[in-house]
A and B are shown apart, each in its own frame.
Chain A
Amino acid sequence: MKKKNLLPWTLALMVLAASCSKDDVNPGGPVLSPAQGVYVLSEGSSNNATLGYYSLSSNTLTGNFYQQQNPTQAGLGSIGNDMTIYGSKLYIVVNVSSDVVVVNAATGTFIKRIAFKEGSTNKEPRYAIGAKGKVFVSCYDGTVAVIDTTSLNITTNIPVGTNPEEMALSGDNLYVANSGGLNFPNYDSTLSVVNVNSLTEITKIKVGINPQSVTADDQGFVYVSCTGNYGSVPAKLVKVKISDRTIAKSADTAAGRIRYYDNKLWVTGGYIGSPYVRTLSTADFSQTRANFVTDGTAIAMPYGLDIDKQNGDVYVTDARDYVSSGQLLCFDKTGKKKFAVNTTPGVIPTKVAFNR
């Protein structure tokens, strides 16, 4: 992005930042304001986790936004795995550096680097989600760490299953996919239910081997993609009924990331790899669209998948060959491309967050 374009919106963001300093989040049905831009986090190969920012007003991407806003910082660290905006802050989970980097969600300026250590051992944080004035971070050491959003310290570590991955919030409960991925060949197969008020694990629901991605709908169900063991046990998609914690539906289909929007499930191809994002019926997992893209736009390796629930725009990140810079693609909900931009220097873009 050219400097000329950058200045006006930076100022606008700073004004906005000043206006929303409290970390209260509307607990009711979210009334979302339109996104002004999107952050895109790239994992990187090593020590080059990258945060870029795409301005929806100027339609330009600043590839190394974090670096630009924080020239005195050395970089995000190694393997940017996930991020979430909660309140006025953006929480960036840096897996191998074992940190959560907190920046101002409006400006991208550095606030704090929270070290994720248990004694001297790295906790290896994976995913983050905000609720009830806290940010919950799943960690490979078998816990969900709770960050207090005012002190920006870890206040509690909630024990869950082995190597937890993605989490979804439904009501006052957090559904945590326990993969057991590092415990090969004895994978975990449970979903931990964690209450966000009591900060304890209430129960575990058995869903299937190696659960990884999880999403909740607004009708009392949680969906989990179970990756299987990459061999004899195939990948599965599982629908869990929250009220009685039973499996409502299970089907053998490989799903990588799963998202719920517009009464449909949006899924990427899973570990086998697929150049398509499919849409599935939530009722019986039947395929409503084999490729949600309708205008012929090709995606080499759909990796991250996020949907702007305010307008239904679907953001797909393309990891390409995993070694060169990826791509951020935005489609409207009918599958027509709105824009596509290289995430240079970001390698393996994985997550999009909306700056509203």
Chain B
Amino acid sequence: MGPRVPVTGFLRHCPPKADGKATRLKASQKTCLHHFIAELSGERLAGFIRFAGALLLFFTFLFLFMTLLTRYIANMGRMAVVILTGLITTYASAQTPDTLNPVNVTGTVRTDTVLTTVLVQRFDKKEWIQFNSLSVADVVRFFAGTLVKDYGGIGGLKTVSVRSIGASHTGILYDGVPMSDAQGGQIDLGKISLDNLREVVLFNSQPPTLLQPARAYASAAVLSLRTSGDQADSTGATAGIRAGSWGFFNPSLTLRHKANKHFSQSLNGEWQQADGSYRFDAYEQDGSRAKRNNTDIKALRAEYDAIYRFNYTSRINFKAYYYSSHRGLPGEVILYNTRSRQRLEDQIFFAQAGWQKRIALKSRLAINAKYQYYYNRYTDPDFLNAQRFLENRFFQREGYLSAAYTYEFNHILSAAYASDFTFSSLRRSDAYTENFPSPDRHHFLNNATLKARWDRLDIQGNILHTYLQDRVKAGNTPRILRAYTPAIAASYQPVAAWPMRVRFFYKKIFRVPTFNDRYYTLVGNTNLRPEYVRQYNLGVAWASRDFSNRFTWSASVDAYYNYVRDKIVAVPRQNLFQWTMLNVGTADIRGIDAVLYGNKKWNEHWRTSLRLSYSYQRTLDITNPSSPLYKTPLPYAPAHSGSGNVSIYYDKYTLGYNLLLSSYRYRQGEPIRENMVEGFLIHDVSLARTFAYRGQQRIRAIAEVNNLFNTNYEVIRYYPMPGLQFRVGMSVDF
């Protein structure tokens, strides 16, 4: 009996949560709005009131917010006018741009991201612009300890697992506000473009900052993405275009407007398309080549940002984000069968607003709110049901409110409290709507942090409380989840004269079962427990203190131990029509992450920078002592992996060389030859130069050669990766 799931293709397409999810709409958009309006009816509001206790704190902050808001009502009025007059009118006036020098790469070692209590890895735009980088996934794979599960090509699913804990344990912050996918639990990093980002930072455990939402504490690792939205410190525009192998075409445009010292806004839009039908070494016959089918993608993204600074102590920012894509799902290469016609459409919209306020000298307040709408549609015209067509349409909505408050008792001790509420819902509208549980989730997080900071010792501890309740319209209602989870982190400088810190962290956290885990038709299991992970880390970091900027370097080595229990996995029942989700995995993960960074300015013409990362890990499946898998490596976890980035700057030229390596891995199953996935070593090179335009270096051109040696490799078995490819790009600042 074949592993077939009647309802959707998701299990058939291997990457369970994500591939089978579908995407985008047009005619159906209206219907969706109707659904949404219905959602906001009183019935749901009544449900909220029961949680009034936990909301109380929230309302207090809101009240405070409103009170303060009225004080600035005049400013608000002005802001509204500016928004209304819009960008276009202001552009007509074509103000003189401020100095913008794209080659001004400073490349200094940032001690604030090295001598931290947890491992923090960071790339900024100036660095990744030299990589083969389109999406966040392309940057994250260069971090130590990450495994980007890349299913190949521009449209292929890409998720990141940090230290082999699993992709669902990685939290993602977009301008400080959590992004989430309550349905599948894993965000496809391939859908997050780098075009509007200025910084990508990966925190093991959690960011050590105090003023942040409670959700920032609720993952095993946090990937923080910062956009350029709040960087409109001038009025101007940037137009860019890129093109490359396999029909890749990617124009983008950013408009920036600084109205006055209070208000600025920006609008960024991007179009991506590719046919993506690259060639790879055929599996059926040695020496022959085959072509990926059904790999086309078209994606549109638009982002609007506005920021209003009342004065030095208070600011409001607003963001609206829209993404829509339509793509083929090539799926895994199936031997002797090249047919592939599944499609995915998706549409993501979110709007988020934040307000930050310094109250007196000692306390700060941050309030964030977000609304998110996510639609996906998956179709399979080869599905052998009566209609010969499978369609899955899902709608996800999420409302999010967060308030965070910090207070500094004295120069040593400070405290923070954050309270988050997330409401998420999942609906479907297809042939399988009947009996669908249509779950609603109420998720409360409250976190208290205490931080003590002496000259040579930092200690930070927090405790997070989770309350999670799902309500369903059909089937079993899962138990309410209540949990307290702690984390502690410390760093110590043993020798006052050395810029070196020894650090330690411990964190216990879990991931909650996603909507798919609990309610996937015929597959979901409402009895699932959360998947727990305990992390221990001991490391040492060194950052040089050469403030002359001639030569700076930093290095860190961290050893860790992770213990994951109650892993949520899809397990087939007796007949493979029927899968179910179970808590059946236990994993023991030990490893070392090492990062080295150096930057040397030779003279006024020449500068070089080097970044190396290396990870060793030993992962063990310790689920069942009587299983052949007992004490074997986890699927796709390589023992050795690493990356290197070298940049050579000479006046207007930048030469970039990047390399990515992984030792062999095993796909799911025993560590035998048949399950082995070979290691790889991939080289990319790029050459960029800037040109003057109207007196300044405003034009930047880049040529990339990626996978220089045309290496045929796989990250995931039977998902061949692209070979040699070329890309050229140009951007102009106006």
Chain A interfacial positions (CB closer than 8 Å to B): 43, 45-48, 64, 74-75, 77-79, 81, 94-99, 113, 115, 120-122, 124, 126, 140-142, 162-163, 165, 180-186, 212, 227, 230, 256, 268-274, 301, 303, 320-325, 342, 344-345, 347-348, 350
Q: Is the CB of B335 within 8 A of A78?
A: yes
CB neighbours of B2 from chain A (8 A): 43, 79, 81, 95-96, 124, 126
Residue in contact with B574 in the complex, picked from A165, A268, A344, CB distance below 8 Å: A268
CB neighbours of A230 from chain B (8 A): 522, 578
CB neighbours of B14 from chain A (8 A): 46
What are 30 contact pairs spanning A and B, CB under 8 A?
A: A43-B1, A43-B3, A48-B674, A74-B335, A75-B335, A77-B334, A78-B334, A95-B4, A98-B337, A121-B339, A121-B382, A122-B382, A124-B2, A141-B384, A163-B385, A165-B1, A181-B6, A185-B435, A212-B575, A271-B577, A271-B578, A321-B624, A322-B572, A324-B627, A324-B670, A325-B670, A325-B672, A345-B672, A345-B673, A345-B674
B432 within 8 A of partner (CB): yes
CB neighbours of B284 from chain A (8 A): 74
B629 within 8 A of partner (CB): yes
Residue of B nearest to A139 (CB): B384
Residue of B nearest to A270 (CB): B574
Q: Is the CB of B1 within 8 A of A227?
A: no
CB neighbours of B7 from chain A (8 A): 184
Further pairs besides A47-B332, A64-B674: 13, Cβ < 8 Å: A46-B718, A78-B335, A97-B335, A115-B336, A122-B337, A122-B339, A124-B384, A183-B386, A184-B385, A212-B575, A269-B574, A271-B578, A273-B574
Residue of B nearest to A323 (CB): B668
Binary CB contact string for chain B from 554 to 591 against chain A (1 if under 8 A, 0 otherwise)? 00000000000000000111111110000000000000
Nearest Cβ in chain A — how far from B81, in angstroms? 56
Q: Is the CB of B335 within 8 A of A47?
A: yes
B42 within 8 A of partner (CB): no
* Contact residues of B between 663 and 682, Cβ < 8 Å to A: 667-670, 672-675
Q: Is the CB of A46 within 8 A of B717?
A: yes
* Contact residues of B between 326 and 383, Cβ < 8 Å to A: 332-337, 339, 382-383
Q: Is the CB of B4 within 8 A of A181?
A: yes
* Complex Cα gap A173–B137 (Å): 57
Nearest Cβ in chain A — how far from B719, in angstroms? 10
Nearest Cβ in chain A — how far from B574, in angstroms? 5
CB neighbours of A115 from chain B (8 A): 336
* Complex Cα gap A126–B3 (Å): 11
Q: Is the CB of A140 within 8 A of B669?
A: no
Q: Is the CB of A184 within 8 A of B386?
A: no
Residue in contact with A142 in the complex, picked from B1, B335, B384, CB distance below 8 Å: B384
Q: Known: A47-B334, A97-B337, A324-B670. Contact between A182 and B4, CB under 8 A?
A: yes
* Complex Cα gap A342–B629 (Å): 13
Q: Known: A142-B384, A271-B578. Contact between A320 and B522, CB under 8 A?
A: no
Q: Known: A64-B674, A163-B384, A345-B675. Contact between A270 and B283, CB under 8 A?
A: no
Q: Which of B6, B667, B668 has the most CB of A within 10 A?
A: B6
* Complex Cα gap A303–B1 (Å): 10
Q: Is the CB of A271 within 8 A of B285?
A: no
* Complex Cα gap A18–B656 (Å): 65
Residue in contact with A182 in the complex, picked from B383, B578, B667, CB distance below 8 Å: B383
Nearest Cβ in chain B — how far from A204, in angstroms? 15
Q: Is the CB of A185 within 8 A of B432?
A: yes
B455 within 8 A of partner (CB): no
CB neighbours of A140 from chain B (8 A): 384
Q: Is the CB of A96 within 8 A of B334?
A: yes
CB neighbours of B675 from chain A (8 A): 345
* Complex Cα gap A192–B673 (Å): 43
CB neighbours of B522 from chain A (8 A): 184, 230
Q: Is the CB of A182 within 8 A of B385?
A: yes
Q: Is the CB of A324 within 8 A of B669?
A: yes
* Contact residues of B between 300 and 349, Cβ < 8 Å to A: 332-337, 339
* Complex Cα gap A324–B574 (Å): 15
* Complex Cα gap A321–B624 (Å): 10
Binary CB contact string for chain B from 476 to 490 against chain A (1 if under 8 A, 0 otherwise)? 000000000000000
* Contact residues of B between 54 and 93, Cβ < 8 Å to A: none
B434 within 8 A of partner (CB): yes
B625 within 8 A of partner (CB): no
B628 within 8 A of partner (CB): yes
Q: Which 10 pairs between the two chains have the least Cβ-Cβ distance? A: A184-B6, A95-B2, A345-B674, A324-B628, A183-B385, A140-B384, A79-B2, A77-B335, A74-B284, A97-B336
Nearest Cβ in chain A — how far from B519, in angstroms? 14
Q: Which of B382, B434, B435, B573 has the most CB of A within 10 A?
A: B573
Q: Known: A47-B332, A345-B674. Contact between A321 and B4, CB under 8 A?
A: no
Nearest Cβ in chain A — how far from B523, in angstroms? 10
CB neighbours of B578 from chain A (8 A): 230, 271
* Contact residues of B between 513 and 542, Cβ < 8 Å to A: 521-522
Q: Which of B285, B337, B385, B575 has the most CB of A within 10 A?
A: B575
* Complex Cα gap A162–B672 (Å): 39
Nearest Cβ in chain B — how far from A320, in angstroms? 7
Nearest Cβ in chain A — how far from B60, in angstroms? 46
Nearest Cβ in chain B — how far from A191, in angstroms? 18
Q: Known: A43-B2, A185-B432, A270-B575. Contact between A78 and B386, CB under 8 A?
A: no
Q: Is the CB of A47 within 8 A of B283?
A: yes
Q: Is the CB of A271 within 8 A of B670?
A: no
Q: Known: A77-B336, A78-B337, A183-B6. Contact between A344 and B384, CB under 8 A?
A: no
CB neighbours of B624 from chain A (8 A): 321
Q: Known: A95-B2, A140-B384. Contact between A347 and B332, CB under 8 A?
A: no
* Contact residues of B between 408 and 460, Cβ < 8 Å to A: 432, 434-435
* Complex Cα gap A225–B365 (Å): 64
* Contact residues of B between 656 and 715, Cβ < 8 Å to A: 667-670, 672-675
Nearest Cβ in chain A — how far from B607, in angstroms? 48
Nearest Cβ in chain A — how far from B677, in angstroms? 12
Q: Which of A124, A269, A272, A324 has the most CB of B within 10 A?
A: A324
Nearest Cβ in chain B — how far from A94, in angstroms? 8
CB neighbours of A342 from chain B (8 A): 628
* Complex Cα gap A115–B624 (Å): 40
Q: Is the CB of A321 within 8 A of B1?
A: no
Residue in contact with A186 in the complex, picked from B386, B668, B674, CB distance below 8 Å: B386
Q: Is the CB of B571 within 8 A of A322?
A: yes
* Complex Cα gap A200–B48 (Å): 62
CB neighbours of B385 from chain A (8 A): 162-163, 182-184
* Complex Cα gap A301–B147 (Å): 33
* Complex Cα gap A96–B6 (Å): 14
Q: Is the CB of A350 within 8 A of B4?
A: no
Residue of B nearest to A48 (CB): B674
Residue of A nearest to B635 (CB): A323
Q: Is the CB of B6 within 8 A of A303?
A: no
Q: Known: A43-B2, A230-B578, A271-B574. Contact between A185 and B434, CB under 8 A?
A: yes
* Complex Cα gap A273–B582 (Å): 14
Q: Is the CB of B627 within 8 A of A320?
A: yes
* Complex Cα gap A181–B575 (Å): 11
Q: Is the CB of B339 within 8 A of A120?
A: yes
CB neighbours of A322 from chain B (8 A): 571-572
Q: Is the CB of B384 within 8 A of A182?
A: yes
Nearest Cβ in chain A — how far from B526, in angstroms? 13
Q: Is the CB of B334 within 8 A of A74?
A: no
Q: Is the CB of A113 within 8 A of B336?
A: yes
* Complex Cα gap A21–B272 (Å): 60
Q: Which of B1, B522, B571, B672 has the most CB of A within 10 A?
A: B1
Residue of B nearest to A269 (CB): B574
Residue in contact with B6 in the complex, picked from A94, A113, A121, A182, CB distance below 8 Å: A182
* Complex Cα gap A301–B574 (Å): 7
Q: Is the CB of B672 within 8 A of A344?
A: yes
* Complex Cα gap A270–B575 (Å): 7
* Contact residues of B between 219 and 241, Cβ < 8 Å to A: none
Q: Is the CB of A45 within 8 A of B575?
A: no
